[in-house]
Structure 1
């Protein structure tokens, strides 16, 4: 029991030793409107951000970052009192878990997800050297405060229309998109499954890539880069059983113990975590890219390699 609690409190209460190197970033806020279910007309919205530094850009869901100050207050109160508090009901969960880094100037795209290693999250990712074959058109339009120009491209099994602005001198955009003569202000697919629209921007002094919430859970910016095939296998296995690597510690005598200063048992906490993970990963079966096709192609490549 003592060993389990040591691991648990390191995961929940302690800061990671790794620290970010602080720098200045331009943060661009994109409202994403999307259809989470293929067979439903239901529309959802979430705010996403693209942080652009001298070395790279970082795209992700803004939901957890926006709550960092509140999370910091609650975690520090738990650290001070040594009493566990279930924060699941007070924190808004993100709609998307991926983080996408684009490294300048080569524009290497790194797609990242967090998976569990015991009770500690680790980042795994795969890299791509994407080349978007943009078709820049003469059509222009005013979107918000920006003068924009139209461009189209096929990507991920969808046809996309983008509007970019040379007033914003960044050849970047939300998700994996980049390569136009200015920042992408709006981009959506032909069936409007996904639509990003720039809502505003600000400069972030002392920018840090890793949020407070990630730090206290033992996370850092380090990424284990694997092949795309291995990434999908690892991530799909994680989604099927997110707590698989923690189960060796979850003995019956441990599960029946109560969290410090709480009526909640470790078993109840684990059950809540499992439900949260399953609800999250089952909420969207309509990804930006046709990953089923990607995985199918990767499995085919893998089988061909095995034959050789």
Structure 2
């Protein structure tokens, strides 16, 4: 029974990627509100809170949704394990808007872009690594954004033109998503079409910081991240998005698919169909990527 709980929990929360970290550190956590246009042909905007955690040798950027619900998830999952009764967590837990995790290694600022896919029902992390050199043009224009005195900089990246406002009051040459390389923390950054706009909302110190969330720990997430060329990564991830259960389906016999779990509406087969719909709804919700082109394409244009 516990194995079945684990299977469906993994299926439900396999969006958030992870890289194991046994040591406990103190992190500077910066909260950015991301306002974005999920559909390129729509005027509708959505918002989500994201987090940039900066520790001694790296930073980690991701959607804050799953991290922010850690304590709720822990209570819900432990109650399920104790009672032996399955509960559909989709009714109480919000899903993230973005599944990627981005790790920047200090001081070289190599960028590792990580996603999770599944091998059967086992989650695995895949990634690609880039050396991104932003060609920032720093202007003399200054602006007060919240409590911060900021200065303007512009750059082309991923097929879009970006404007960033950074502050030397926070001595981190970093920012949300892949952005970095300015002489201070990026307080705001947006593209000229306002498809994506990050604005710093606040920060705090996180004692005993751990990179893995509770959800990632109990899903049996391996500490290994398989790094590959970007083209190979994109093919693997696109294949997963088209058919999330492709590698798991051969394992599911008719007898297994017809089973029920206490507390679950319908059969395991019904649950798989529901999870597959959740995956596809998640991936189809955004057809307006942050990067329209890969860095190699940008270089050819210059």
Using the size of structure 1 for normalisation, the TM-score is 0.90
Equivalence for 2:15 = none
Equivalence for 2:218 = 216
* CA distance, structure 2, for counterparts of residue 155 and residue 56 of structure 1: 22
Judged with a 3 Å threshold, the aligned counterparts in structure 2 of structure 1 residues 167 and 156 are, in CA distance, closer, same or farther, namely same
* CA distance, structure 2, for counterparts of residue 136 and residue 295 of structure 1: 21
Deviation digits for residues 256-283 of structure 1, max 9, x if unmatched?
A: 1001443431011101100100000000
Residue number among 223, 232, 241 corresponding to 1:230 in the alignment = 232
Residue number among 26, 29, 33 corresponding to 1:27 in the alignment = 29
Judged with a 3 Å threshold, the aligned counterparts in structure 2 of structure 1 residues 257 and 289 are, in CA distance, closer, same or farther, namely same
In the TM superposition, residue 133 of structure 1 has moved relative to its aligned partner by: 0.4
Equivalence for 2:107 = 105
In the alignment, structure 1 residue 253 sits paired with structure 2 residue 249: no
* CA distance, structure 2, for counterparts of residue 195 and residue 95 of structure 1: 15
In the TM superposition, residue 11 of structure 1 has moved relative to its aligned partner by: 3.9
**8 A contact 1:210–1:221 mirrored in 2:** no
* CA distance, structure 2, for counterparts of residue 6 and residue 224 of structure 1: 28
Deviation digits for residues 222-258 of structure 1, max 9, x if unmatched?
A: 3111111110010000000001111112121111100
* CA distance, structure 2, for counterparts of residue 151 and residue 221 of structure 1: 37
Judged with a 3 Å threshold, the aligned counterparts in structure 2 of structure 1 residues 19 and 139 are, in CA distance, closer, same or farther, namely closer
In the alignment, structure 1 residue 8 sits paired with structure 2 residue 12: no
**8 A contact 2:157–2:295 mirrored in 1:** no
Judged with a 3 Å threshold, the aligned counterparts in structure 2 of structure 1 residues 205 and 12 are, in CA distance, closer, same or farther, namely farther
* CA distance, structure 1, for counterparts of residue 227 and residue 41 of structure 2: 34
**8 A contact 1:127–1:225 mirrored in 2:** yes
Using the size of structure 2 for normalisation, the TM-score is 0.91
In the alignment, structure 1 residue 187 sits paired with structure 2 residue 183: no
**8 A contact 2:21–2:211 mirrored in 1:** no
* CA distance, structure 2, for counterparts of residue 48 and residue 250 of structure 1: 36
* CA distance, structure 1, for counterparts of residue 285 and residue 295 of structure 2: 20
Equivalence for 2:91 = 89
What stretches of structure 1 move > 2 A for 4+ residues in a row? Answer: 5-14, 260-264, 293-297
- In structure 2, the gaps of 5 or more residues are 11-17, 298-302
* CA distance, structure 1, for counterparts of residue 69 and residue 214 of structure 2: 10
- In structure 1, the gaps of 5 or more residues are 298-308
Judged with a 3 Å threshold, the aligned counterparts in structure 2 of structure 1 residues 29 and 134 are, in CA distance, closer, same or farther, namely same
Residue number among 27, 47, 52 corresponding to 2:54 in the alignment = 52
Q: SS at the partner of 1:88?
A: helix
* CA distance, structure 2, for counterparts of residue 159 and residue 295 of structure 1: 13
Aligned pair count reads 289
In the TM superposition, residue 8 of structure 1 has moved relative to its aligned partner by: 3.2
**8 A contact 2:31–2:203 mirrored in 1:** yes
Cα-Cα RMSD: 1.9
In the TM superposition, residue 7 of structure 1 has moved relative to its aligned partner by: 4.9
**8 A contact 1:20–1:210 mirrored in 2:** no
In the TM superposition, residue 6 of structure 1 has moved relative to its aligned partner by: 7.0
